[in-house]
Copies of this chain bind each other. A is one copy, B any other.
Amino acid sequence: MRIGQLAKLVGVDVQTIRFYEREGLLVSPERQQNGYRIYTQQHVERLAFVRRCRMLNLSLAEIGELQGYLDEPHQPCTAVNGMLDGRIAHVRAQINSLQALEKQLVALRTRCSGVHEAADCGILTGISAETR
């Protein structure tokens, strides 16, 4: 199949597929005489794998590492566990800091409820004074 079909099938932009190829996440496919890329079922699966990893917020570098395990399955998978643990910790940290941020924003928001001049706006004076 050609790149447009692959893109539609997996739900990825055509540009992004070419980008993944340049980054080494997708094996360079054969080409037709006219230069068009021709993809196989294996490409479909690899691209879908990459997309699922991205949905799990894995970085392209991490995905490349995981592909190493797919390609050489006779290694211990310790690093895979570690990677996931790292991601989970990271996501939890993100959630915590966003929740703290939400509190700050909400508190700031209550300082200006009516419509008045910017000079008196509790939000602006709130930020100017200190927001911590």
Contact = CB atoms under 8 A, between A and B. Distances in A.
Interface of A: 45, 49, 52-53, 55-57, 66, 69-70, 72-78, 80-81, 84-85, 87-88, 91-92, 94-95, 98-99, 101-102, 104-106, 108-109, 112, 115-121, 123-124, 127-128, 130-132
Given A74-B117, A77-B124, A115-B77, A102 B88 contact: yes
Q: Please tell me how many copies of the chain the complex holds.
A: 2
Tell me the interface secondary structure of chain A in the complex. Answer: helix
A75 B124 contact: no
A115 B76 contact: yes
Given A101-B57, A105-B88, A81 B112 contact: yes
